[in-house]
Amino acid sequence: MELTPTHLGLCVSDLDASLRFWRDGLGFETREVLELGSEWADALEVESPAEFTSHFIRKGALEFELLFYKSPAPTGEASRSRGQIGLTHLAFGVDDLDAALEHLVAHGGTVLETTRTALGPVELAFVADPDGTRIELIQTSA
């Protein structure tokens, strides 16, 4: 049996703010947008009636489905610790950590200052997207 990854799903509370961060900030491109309803409620484990936008974005081989629920309203919060069970963060390599952090802040991100770390040739920091999803930025010097 062969399993082929297709995408990751990310529930967002504000689609415009999330697109500003993920598309305009991180450079993903819209691939497809679907307006969906209660026919997907059971599969997505949400209560019916459901009304939501499924906005697929892609960068290289990495694809996300941003799920924006008009009904029912999204609940919960993103992981705030890399020690919490479940998906804790996504990582991106950058050439200039300071410039990348500044760029993402300008597009709705929040730098988590206490995460900034330099160990040998590796410097990293975490940024939270508008809903708190953690993004790790890694700069490696030669």
Q: pLDDT tens digits, residue range 37-84?
A: 999 988 889 999 999 999 999 999 999 999 999 999 999 989 888 888
The answer to whether the pTM exceeds 0.75 is yes
How much is the pLDDT for 16?
97
Q: Tokens in use for 39?
A: 């026919």
pLDDT digits (tens, 9 = 90+) for 2-18: 988 899 999 999 999 99
- How far apart CA 92 and CA 73 sit, in angstroms, is 30
- How far apart CA 45 and CA 118 sit, in angstroms, is 41
Look over the chain and give the mean of its residue pLDDT values, rounded to a whole number.
94
How much is the pLDDT for 3?
87
User: Where does the chain show beta strands of DSSP type E?
Assistant: 8-12, 29-37, 51-59, 62-71, 90-93, 110-119, 122-128, 134-140
